[in-house]
């Protein structure tokens, strides 16, 4: 309940309400883009300052290794299940969506942990960056494999299957995405500048952070309300996946964290990352890489169901379960 009374969360709820009432309230796209970049830059700086203090330890390596393992395991498991419900292309797109991460969900989770005074490693921002691209690459590989299989079964004289998308260009695009580069660049700058840099940037990356997050969540609430209108058209099985898959992915992250003795704060963030679904990076990449998939399906499920579920209920639930299990 305390999480629901947080001003940033209340602005998200207010945005959903305004959107449901079809208000003309809107955040201009350039401002929304600026807010997104600001949050990533501030998050990267915080992570860099924390790494400057702690250094690259075995604890850091274990947490980052867990993130990378989850980034590969979650989309592969998701594809096997979703293949029973939708076409191979839609299954690959949904697996990528739920195998990748939501930066806003992660940022909201770090704010929650700060409010609850739960310690976590700033290097978890690097974990988020590591988890964004593998699911996209795997989805492209799966889609290309299906195209080749479909082409092999065509009779002579039939139209050839769509040409597969090259992994090299897709990987380069994922790794050089502006938002991800900003996050990693800010982290490096934070590491290099250390405590002096933290003091100098405190008014920007610290004092303004909460207000900027609230403003951005207002915009996300408006966007979520628009996507909620598409949900009645979706299969109940897919809606169930959008609700239950994040819980299963979070449980998988918790088991991994417990096995490897990951600190509680880091474990909570791993659960949040595993449970989140991308609604920016993956949809943008898949529109070109897997045009056969339905954007309304993977975008609507991630933003209309999974994102609000994690923001309103998931984050405090994951924190409670992790604290009860690991402490």
Non-local (6+) Cβ contacts of 26 within 8 A are 222
Q: What is the pTM of this model?
A: 0.85
The CA-atom distances, in angstroms, between 43 and each of 183, 209, 299, 309 are 7, 9, 25, 22
How confident is the model at residue 164, as a pLDDT?
54
The H-or-E segment that residue 23 falls in is none
Position 79 confidence tier, pLDDT thresholds 50, 70, 90? very high
Which segment of 191-205, 225-239, 291-305 scores lowest on mean pLDDT? 225-239
Q: What is the pLDDT of residue 289?
A: 79
Residue 152 belongs to some domain of the structure: no
User: What single-letter DSSP state applies at residue 306?
Assistant: I
Query: With bands split at pLDDT 50, 70 and 90, how would you rate the model's confidence at 161?
Result: very low
Contacts of 101 (CB under 8 A, 6+ apart): 128, 131, 132, 273, 276, 277, 278
Tell whether 2 is covered by a domain: no
Residue 29 lies inside a defined structural domain of this protein: no
pLDDT in tens, 177-189: 667 778 888 888 9
Mean pLDDT of the chain: 85
User: What's the domain count of the chain?
Assistant: 1
68 lies in a domain?
yes
Domain presence at residue 162: no
CB count in 10 Å sphere of residue 223: 20
Tokens 């594809």, located at residue: 79
Residue 197 lies in a domain: yes
Residue pointed to by tokens 């209108």 = 229
Report which of 5, 28, 37 is spatially closest to residue 222, judged by C-alpha positions: 28
Q: Domain residues for 98?
A: 37-147+167-205+222-326
Looking at the chain, the whole-number percentage of residues with pLDDT higher than 90 is 37
Q: Domain with 302 in it: what CATH number?
A: 1.20.1530.20
């Amino acid at each position: 309940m305390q999480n629901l009374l947080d001003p940033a969360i209340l602005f998200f709820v207010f945005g959903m309400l305004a959107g449901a009432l079809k208000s003309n309230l809107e955040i201009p796209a350039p401002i929304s883009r600026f807010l997104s970049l600001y949050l990533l830059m501030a998050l990267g700086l915080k992570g860099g300052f924390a790494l400057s203090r702690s250094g690259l330890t075995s604890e850091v390596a274990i947490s980052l290794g867990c993130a990378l393992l989850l980034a590969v395991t979650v989309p592969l498991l998701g594809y096997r299940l979703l293949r029973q419900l939708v076409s191979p292309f839609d299954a690959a797109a949904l697996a990528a969506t739920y195998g990748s991460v939501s930066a806003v969900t992660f940022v909201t989770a770090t704010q929650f942990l700060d409010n609850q005074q739960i310690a976590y490693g700033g290097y978890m921002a690097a974990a988020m960056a590591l988890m964004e691209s593998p699911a996209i690459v795997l989805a492209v590989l799966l889609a290309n494999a299906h195209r080749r299989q479909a082409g092999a079964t065509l009779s002579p004289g039939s139209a050839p299957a769509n040409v597969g998308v090259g992994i090299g260009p897709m990987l380069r695009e994922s790794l050089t995405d502006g938002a991800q580069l900003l996050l990693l660049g800010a982290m490096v700058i934070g590491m290099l500048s250390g405590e002096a840099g933290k003091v100098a940037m405190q008014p920007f990356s610290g004092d303004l952070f909460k207000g900027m997050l609230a403003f951005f969540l207002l915009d996300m609430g408006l966007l979520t309300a628009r996507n909620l209108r598409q949900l009645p058209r979706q299969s109940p099985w897919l809606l169930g996946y959008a609700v239950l898959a994040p819980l299963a992915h979070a449980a998988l992250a918790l088991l991994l964290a417990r096995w490897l003795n990951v600190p509680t704060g880091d474990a909570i963030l791993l659960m949040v990352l595993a449970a989140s679904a991308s609604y920016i990076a993956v949809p943008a990449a898949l529109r070109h890489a897997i045009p056969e998939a339905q954007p309304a399906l993977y975008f609507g499920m991630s933003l209309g169901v999974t994102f609000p579920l994690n923001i309103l209920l998931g984050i405090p639930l994951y924190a409670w379960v992790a604290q009860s299990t690991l402490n």
